[in-house]
Structures are given as C-alpha cells and as structure tokens.
C-alpha cells in the first residue's frame, strides 16, 4: 500500500534521541532545555518570526494561542467547521464558544465575507486554518481583525513550507500554530510550536506552557503542562535540516500528478498562485458534481489498487455530536458539499516517481 503520509526518518533521528537518553536532560521544568531552545531558534528562522514556543502537541499550540488572545468564558471565536476537531477544541477548552462559518469553495479555507457577517459584540478572535497546506486569505482576515479589534490566530498545522504574499505562513497572524505530528511535513512524533512577532504574546505563551510560571513554583496565570520534551526537540532539530528537501519532493510529486490528472474534466485539482504557494501536505482533488457515495466508491477502488487515498474532514466539526448538541450553527452549504466530494492522494517524500505515475494512471483509469 502506498500510504497517504509517512514519517521520513533515518539513523540521524535515532542517534539524536540516543544522545539525549545518554547525556540528558530529558526535559526542563520551564520547557527550556538546550534541545528545545535550539529547535525554537531554528523554527522561528524558518517561519520568519521573532519568536517560537515549542509545546508537546499541535492541540496544545492551538489552546495556548487562543488563551494568549484573552479568550474567556462565552467569548466567541469565528472558525471553519471544515477542519480537524482540534481547531474547535482549543476554543472550547479556553471557555469560548466556537462560531462556525462557511468556506471559500476554491481554497476550502475560511471565507472572509462569512467571517464579517458573523461578528458580534461577543467576538474575541478569528481562527482560520491553512487547510491541506494552502494559506487562508490572511490579508483580508487581518484587515477584518484590525477593524474590529480582534485577535487573529492562524492554524498553520499543515503549512510547513506554505507562503502567502511572499512570506511564510503565519506572518499576518498574531500567533500561528504548527503541528509536528507524525504525518506532517516534518515531525517530532507528537509536538507543536507557536510562532509570533509579539513579545508580550511570547511571554504569555511561555507561562501557559508551564503552569503559568516564569520561575518555578510561582504561577502568575492559569497554565498547563504543555512542555516539549528534549527527546522531541532532538528529533525536531534533525528534521529541520531535512524540511526543505521534504517540501521540494512533495512539490515535485504534486506537479507531476497534476500534469497527469489535469486532462480529466471530472476533477478540480489543487493549485498555487504567485502570491500563495502550497506546502503540499495533502494533494486534495475534488470529484465534480459527485455524491458522497460516488466519491467513496472511487476511494475504495483506489485502495483496492494499493493506493492509500483518503477523504479528510468528511464530518465537519459542527455536525459532530458534541458540537451539534452544545453549539448552534447556521447551514454551511460549501462546507457540506466539499466534505462529500474531496479526496487526497499520496505525494509525501517517500513516494517515488514511478509510484506517482502509477497513482495518476490508476486514478484516470478508474474515473
């Protein structure tokens, strides 16, 4: 089976972990061990940010950033429903209320027009997602946030290598949250990081990460135990040296696949523009005018050919039982339509050129 995503590691990551196991420390009470500090410095440079705060999961990154925006009980945060549930969890864990709005059908990302219509006196922040690795319309969202004095947190979990307006993902947000989960463009096994250019937000995030402390046993605010282990950071430091080649290989595979699939009129393919470059975390196509049953049949047939195609976010967050029972939402027609029609094909760095040709040829034959 050609998997949809696969961690790209070798003996360098193994040796990095062994070095920490033999020499220590394994962790640091304030989350600032030498490997973590090294990783934060390198990741901040990669993201074009002044500061990077490493944490133990991408969900921890999102929760910390939403807290740092000052979201409290019953504050509203506007976000898409077409995303992984962690985006909404971060709002609820902070005491806020998620307000789900519809997406742009071309990008699958938060619609600025829908955001503008959803703002109320209770709105505290906007939380767009760079879905599949393609940036949300951050300039428009930045303008809306400034106009209404709102926080802007970017869920860049899938955006390692994404650029928008010539800058890395996250550049237009108050804080950007990145996942380092095993399937992502780079990994620390589990892990996350928040980037920001705001010194006050950086200071707040570092306290949230470690029980609200600046110094041990002196909590100044409500915090959590979101520290990144030195073991995780050791893996991350090796992965950072490989990340540019990972992104280049994903782009190569995506371009080759597009050349093959663009001849078929049943598909809408992912794309880039001069102002918005993809990270190619997922190569997500759309089966035009299809039903969910037709899309699912195509997936089953691809898997029968040993191609690990997947459909992501088939259940938008607002339709999941917990959120449906606790948070009212408007109808989201573009979200519901996309959830029934999109599917993703493998293009990760481990996929060979011959495998890409096989994926393209097989998909065309099945269509």
Q: Could you count the other beta carbons within 10 Å of the beta carbon of residue 331?
A: 8
Q: What is the pLDDT of residue 357?
A: 98
Q: What is the pLDDT of residue 66?
A: 98
Is the pLDDT score of 116 beyond 90?
Answer: yes
Question: pTM here?
Answer: 0.97
Q: What is the pLDDT of residues 27-59, one digit of tens each?
A: 999 999 999 999 999 999 999 999 999 999 999
Q: What is the pLDDT of residues 151-203, one digit of tens each?
A: 999 999 999 999 999 999 999 999 999 999 999 999 999 999 999 999 999 99
pLDDT band at residue 328 under the 50/70/90 scheme: confident
Q: What is the pLDDT of residue 324?
A: 95
Q: What is the pLDDT of residue 164?
A: 98
Residue ranges and CATH numbers for the domains of the chain are: 11-239 (3.40.640.10), 243-366 (3.90.1150.10)
Is the pLDDT score of 275 beyond 90?
Answer: yes
pLDDT band at residue 329 under the 50/70/90 scheme: confident
Q: What is the pLDDT of residue 34?
A: 98
Is the pLDDT score of 77 beyond 90?
Answer: yes
Mean pLDDT of 297-316: 98
């Amino acid at each position: 089976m050609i998997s949809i995503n696969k961690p790209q590691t070798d003996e360098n990551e193994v040796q990095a972990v062994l070095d920490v196991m033999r020499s220590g420390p394994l962790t640091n009470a304030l989350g600032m061990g030498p490997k973590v500090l090294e990783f934060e410095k390198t990741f901040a440079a990669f993201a074009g940010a002044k500061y990077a705060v490493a944490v133990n999961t991408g969900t921890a990154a999102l929760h910390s950033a939403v807290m740092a925006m000052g979201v409290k009980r019953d504050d509203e945060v506007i976000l898409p429903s077409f995303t992984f549930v962690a985006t909404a969890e971060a709002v609820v864990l902070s005491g806020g209320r998620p307000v789900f709005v519809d997406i742009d059908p071309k990008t699958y990302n938060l619609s600025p027009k829908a955001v503008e219509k959803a703002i109320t006196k209770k709105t505290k922040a906007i939380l767009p997602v760079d879905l599949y690795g393609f940036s949300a319309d951050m300039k428009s969202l930045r303008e809306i946030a400034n106009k209404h004095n709102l926080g802007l947190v970017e869920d860049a979990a899938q955006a390692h290598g994404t650029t928008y307006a010539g800058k890395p993902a996250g550049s237009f947000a108050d804080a950007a949250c990145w996942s380092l989960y095993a399937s992502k463009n780079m990994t620390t096994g589990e892990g996350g990081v928040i980037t920001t250019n705001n010194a006050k937000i950086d200071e707040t995030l570092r306290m949230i990460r470690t029980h609200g402390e600046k110094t041990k046993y002196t909590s100044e605010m409500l915090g959590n135990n979101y520290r990144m282990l030195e073991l995780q950071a050791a893996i991350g430091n090796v992965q950072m040296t490989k990340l540019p080649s990972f992104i280049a290989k994903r782009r190569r595979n995506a371009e080759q696949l597009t050349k093959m699939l663009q001849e078929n009129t049943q598909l809408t393919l992912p794309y880039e523009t001069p102002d918005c470059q993809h990270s190619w975390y997922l190569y997500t196509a759309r089966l035009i005018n299809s039903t969910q049953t037709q899309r699912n049949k195509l997936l089953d047939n691809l898997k029968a050919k040993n191609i690990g195609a997947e459909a992501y976010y088939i259940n938008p967050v607002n339709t999941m039982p917990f959120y449906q029972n606790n948070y009212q939402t408007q109808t989201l027609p573009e979200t519901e339509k996309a959830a029934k029609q999109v599917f993703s094909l493998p293009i990760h760095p481990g996929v060979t050129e011959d495998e890409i040709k096989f994926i393209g040829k097989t998909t065309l034959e099945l269509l």
